[in-house]
Structure 1
Amino acid sequence: MSTPGFSPALVVLSVAIAMFASYTALDLAARARGIADGTIHSGTRALWITGAAVTMGGGIWSMHFIGMLAFEMGMPTAYDLGLTLQSFLIAVGVTGAAFAWVGRKGARRHAEWLAGPLMGLGIALMHYTGMAAMRMPGHISYDPTLVAASIAIAVVASTTALWLAFRHNSLAEKLAAALLMGLAVAGMHYTGMAAATFSGDEHVHAGADTVSAAPQTLAFAVTGATFLILFIGMLAIAIDQHRIQGELLASEARFRAAIEAVSGVLWTNDAQGRMVGPQPGWSAITGQTPDEYRDFGWADAVHPDDSAPSIAAWNDTVAARKTFVFEHRVRVKEGGYRHYAIRAVPVLNRDGSIREWVGVHTDITAQREAEAELRESNEEIQRYAYIVSHDLRAPLVNIMGFTSELAETRVELQHALAGHPQAERIDAEFGEALGFIGAAVTRMERLIAAILKLSREGRRRFEPEPLDMSAVIRRLADANQHQADSQQAVVTVTPGMPEIVADRLAVEQIFGNLLDNALKYLDPARPGRITVSAQAIGTERVRFSVADNGRGILRNDHVRVFELFRRSGTQDRPGEGIGLAHVKALVRALGGRIDLESEPGRGSTFTVTLPRGASMEHAAAPLSIAAE
């Protein structure tokens, strides 16, 4: 009988199998975590978990079996088929349960604290079941202390390995998890083997349901089967990785196509906001080389007036870790400067730290040029409107003066034609003509006054200030209280409206006109109800609604009511048709928009959406009446 010991080659083989199987299985199981993030379809989760369980369970079992074959006891040994199969099923079952628990949808943090002990206990149970399957002419006794140590090794190492595999994604951490798991399985096995004491007994026989062969033959057979399983697992990983790579390439292609569709270029900066590495997009528009745009060298291509503000705004954004939104002029390689809108966002690591910045420069030169032309056109129209309306006042005053003289002449004609048979007819026609002239003059005077008012508003510069919108609109409603009472109407202003920063006079004119119109066009058949409310839209805009139960407006007239000097519906209320046109111009000048929903007989709702804060562009923008 030879001296008991271990075959070094089989020991090394068993540990290698444990590590290789651990890496493959942990990678397969980690892919099931994608179900929790919505990155893979739920139907594939069970396949990944099953593959991980078979790979890990089979690898652990193979390591255990080869490890026992490595032990040379100096006596013939066989294995009970039933218990051996049972030990394999235990290994697959407990690892599958552990992976399913950690990788399930909605798994909470520290789920490995339950899955790790489960896997460790399963490994230990598999080991001692496999030991019980040994059939030899002798008995096995165990040292309780070493048995407990082997179980502790399995539990602690399994928990740690699961934490590494399911909480991190780098290759180094995956390798560390596999190394730790492989050592845990091997450590548990050989500690358990050290806990066993074998005593010979010539009267103990293997039995009928056993298998025996040379240790090397069994080891090679088990190793071959194990590596076949691991090869299938690695092949599945490779196929899935190829699929993911294809999706990433397609996504990148779509993203780059989208950037090109909006005349933009893509660039990246490091976590500190410095431009590093190749930036083909930036080079394409500026002609700068990598050495020229490195770090903050890109600022050399920015217009001198915009360079310092761009760097200051960028540094503030990097420090605040927020989205960068800016605009500046860039010197292009063809010569000259073009306007670019910039938007950049931080890309975060799992621990919340910034990995890099991804930004887009979008060419808005054509838009800015069109806006400049439009502003110039508006200014010319406003000057023209002011001149024309001012010059029209002089002949209108003359007409009004001569009309007064004609009224006096009418009295003289009455005396001169006294007793004439046609005197009454002539006087009636004369009076009717004077009435038409007076009405036309009065209307013309109101229209000229309205044009002058719009022209003066167009030259006024806005002065943004914080506004308590509930208080502002409440004061406007109180100013119309007499009109509301006379029509038995109730005006409700929702308290606690979001504050905005805007020109007070412009805001008062907007909502003053809307409240006045709502009261003016109520339905006399029912009590009037007017409600002003507001709702925050994200963090940058507020939507205000002025709703009434008045006459309503035909759908075909929803657009024309905002046109200058255009009105809709029954013309039984005074007005020149400039109120809503003025409101729309003011809303646009403040950087917002106005919409209308209305139905005859049910009422109207005017919705005004305004920015929370005044932008540089709209704070100084003149009022546009030409675009209405």
Structure 2
Amino acid sequence: MQGTLDGFTYGLVTPVAAFVMACLGGALGLRCTTRSVRTEGAFKPGWLALGAVSIGSGIWTMHFIAMMGFSIAETPITYDRPITYASLALAIVMVGIGIFIVGYRGATVMALVTGGTIMGLGVASMHYLGMAGMRFQGRVEYSIPVVALSVVIAVVAATAALWAAVSIHGFRASLLASLVMGVAVSGMHYTGMASVSVHLHGTLTAQAGGDSPTSLLLPMLVGPGVFLLLAAVVVMFDPLLVMGEPEWEKPARGAAPLPGVPARPVQAAPQPWPHQPAAARPEDAWPVNRPGEWPHQPQVQPQPQRREQPYSDSW
């Protein structure tokens, strides 16, 4: 018996809210990735870890909000709590691997492709593991080609978002990268849901064991929601800028100077007074007084004494 599925039980409320949460998590995470690329030292892994948790929490929250609008007409749906939270941990770990690769390797082609692939696979893995935690009187069946398409969408969009985050700087780039990340997560989710079909058991009994979506709503909002808020505060008030000079502006110890750039600043030679000859400079016109002299008294050079000849009557 095939079940009747409805992915938009509450209309556009759940898709729009899910997209906003995905964009928020992506914006915070990609912003942290951008900061990490320009940072060296102890702050770098901290920014990368914060970015991984932000993106992982954002996509997990997006998935759960979107699943609030998914229903089966013939049977209620519950969720297995351990599997649901395991999907959150999986998303954070796999997204973190991709972000750390790009953070330490830079915006190279190999790093972006590898990091974007791992991040996209993390988004897809989180989605299908979360679907595995769904409990109802039946089983879920998938269309393999549509599942493959959803994974490709996640990988391509995640790679593009990473490239925009580490290659293009500025507010517009951050906004564009977050929108791309939101499209990646939302597009992957609803493409994957399009591959779902439900086969119900012949005899429907009582509700299957597990937690209802409403019972998971509160911890979902209090946990990742509060974390995303704190991450937004950290990104807005950058500790590197508050504590002093950013480390990316300090020269690395032992680093060789760039070609054509002196290792130390060169002091310019003193220039004569502009528009005046050297003899007419103020320091020559107003000599410095020595102790015991009148102010501005000119220096008188001593004249050699004339030696007088002795008087003689002889010619």
Q: TM-score, normalised by structure 2?
A: 0.73
Q: Which has the higher contact order (CA 8 A, sep 6+)?
A: 2
The answer to whether 1:4 aligns with 2:6 is: yes
Give the aligned partner of residue 60 of structure 1: 59
Per-residue deviation, 1:369? 5.9
Q: Distance in 1 between matches of 2:277 and 2:127?
A: 79
In the other structure, the counterpart of 2:227 is 229
Letter in 2 for 1:4: D
| CA distance in 2: counterparts of 1:2 and 1:94, whole angstroms | 34
CA deviation after TM superposition for structure 1 residue 227, in Å: 2.5
Shift of 1:116: 0.4
Q: How far 1:213 sits from its partner (Å)?
A: 4.5
In the alignment, residue 55 of structure 2 is paired with which amino acid?
Answer: M
Change (3 A) 1:368 1:3: closer
Task: Say whether the 8 Å CA contact 2:76–2:207 is kept in structure 1.
Answer: no
Partner in structure 1 of residue 32 of structure 2: 28
For residues 219 and 145 of structure 2, what CA distance do their matches in structure 1 show? 34
The answer (yes or no) to whether the contact 2:68–2:213 under 8 Å persists in 1 is no
Which AA in structure 1 matches 2:35?
Answer: R
Query: SS of the counterpart of 1:139?
Result: strand
Question: In the TM superposition, what is the alpha-carbon distance from 1:246 to its structure 2 partner?
Answer: 6.0
Partner of 1:101: 101
Q: What code does the residue aligned with 1:171 have?
A: F
Instruction: Work out the CA distance in 2 between the residues paired with 1:14 and 1:223.
Output: 12
Asked if structure 1 preserves the Cα contact closer than 8 Å seen for 2:5 and 2:70, the reply is no
Deviation for aligned residue 1:2: 8.1
Shift of 1:220: 5.3
Q: Does 1:19 align with 2:17?
A: no
SS at match of 1:197: strand
AA matched with 1:223: L
Answer whether contact 2:107 2:163 (CA < 8 A) is retained. no
Matched residue, 1:505: none
Post-superposition CA distance 1:35-89 (Å, at most 9, x none): 3xxxx4x111111111111111011111111111221223211111222122111
- The answer as to whether partners of 2:34 and 2:165 remain within 8 angstroms in 1 is yes
Aligned partner of 2:127: which letter? Answer: H
**Residues 380-401 of structure 1 deviation map (CA, whole Å, 9 limit, x = unaligned):** xxxxxxxxxxxxxxxxxxxxxx
Measured in 1, the distance between the counterparts of 2:273 and 2:33 equals 53
Is 2:177 aligned against 1:174? no
| 1:211 alignment partner, SS class | coil
The question of 1:135 aligning with 2:139 is answered no
Q: For residues 219 and 16 of structure 2, what CA distance do their matches in structure 1 show? A: 16
Aligned equivalents of 1:185, 1:3: Cα separation in 2? 21
Distance (Å, rounded) in 1 between the aligned partners of 2:269 and 2:200:
84
One-letter code aligned to 1:240: D
1:223-372, aligned counterparts within 5 Å?
223-240=221-238, 243=241, 247=245, 364-366=271-273, 371-372=278-279
The 1-side partners of 2:233 and 2:55 are apart by 15
Letter in 1 for 2:36: A
Aligned AA for 1:20?
A: L
1:84/1:129 contact within 8 Å kept: yes
The question of whether the paired residues in 1 share the 8 Å contact of 2:84 and 2:133 is answered with: yes
Q: Contact conserved, 1:66 with 1:222, CA < 8 A, in 2?
A: no
Larger Rg: 1
244 and 30 in structure 1: CA distance in 2 versus 1, 3 angstrom threshold: farther
Supply the RMSD in Å over aligned alpha carbons: 3.2
Give the Cα–Cα distance (whole angstroms) in 2 for the partners of residues 66 and 199 of structure 1.
24
CA distance in 2, matches of 1:228, 1:236: 13
Which residue in the other structure is 1:145 paired with?
145
For structure 1, which runs of at least 5 residues remain unmatched after alignment? 252-321, 324-360, 378-628
Instruction: Tell me the distance in 2 between the aligned counterparts of 1:2 and 1:124.
Output: 24
With over 3 angstroms needed to count, the CA separation of the structure-2 counterparts of 1:3 and 1:103, relative to structure 1, is closer
CA change 1:362–1:245 in 2 (3 A) is farther
How far apart are residue 109 of structure 1 and its match?
A: 1.7
In 2, the alpha carbon distance for the partners of 1:363 and 1:102 equals 48
How far apart in 1 are the matches of 2:144 and 2:223?
34
SS in 1 for 2:238: helix
Alpha-carbon distance between aligned partners in 1 of 2:222 and 2:181, rounded to the nearest angstrom: 21
Instruction: Kindly state the Cα deviation for residue 247 of structure 1 after the two structures are TM-superposed.
Output: 3.9
Residues 166 and 366 (structure 1 numbering): CA distance in 2 closer, same or farther, change over 3 Å?
Answer: same
1:206 maps to amino acid: A
Letter in 1 for 2:45: A
Partner of 2:298: none
What's 2:123 paired with? 123
Paired AA for residue 33 in structure 2: A
Change in 2 beyond 3 A, CA 1:213/1:185: closer
Deviation at 1:3, TM superposition (A): 6.5
| Alpha-carbon distance between aligned partners in 1 of 2:117 and 2:45, rounded to the nearest angstrom | 22
Q: Given residue 42 of structure 2, which amino acid in structure 1 is its aligned partner? A: G
Q: Deviations over 1:521-574 (max 9, x none)?
A: xxxxxxxxxxxxxxxxxxxxxxxxxxxxxxxxxxxxxxxxxxxxxxxxxxxxxx
What is the CA-CA distance between 1:218 and the residue it aligns to? 3.7
Deviation at 1:29, TM superposition (A): 1.5
Shift of residue 9 of structure 1?
1.2
Change in 2 beyond 3 A, CA 1:231/1:362: farther
Cα offset, 1:161, TM superposition: 0.5
Contact 1:138 1:204 in 2 (8 A): no
The structure-2 alpha-carbon separation of the partners of 1:135 and 1:52, relative to structure 1 and needing over 3 Å to count, comes to same
| TM-superposition CA deviations, 1:409-450 (whole Å, max 9, x none) | xxxxxxxxxxxxxxxxxxxxxxxxxxxxxxxxxxxxxxxxxx
Q: Check whether the contact 1:28–1:233 (CA below 8 A) recurs between aligned residues.
A: no
Structure 1 residue 185: deviation in Å? Answer: 0.1
CA distance in 2, matches of 1:212, 1:168: 43
Q: Distance in 1 between matches of 2:76 and 2:100?
A: 40
Give the Cα separation in 1 of the matches to 2:172 and 2:150. 27
Shift of 1:205: 6.0
Considering fraction of residues, name the structure with more strand: 1
Aligned residues: 256
Q: Is the 8 A contact 1:136 1:204 kept in 2?
A: no
**Inter-partner Cα distance in structure 1 for 2:26 and 2:149:** 21
SS at match of 1:103: helix
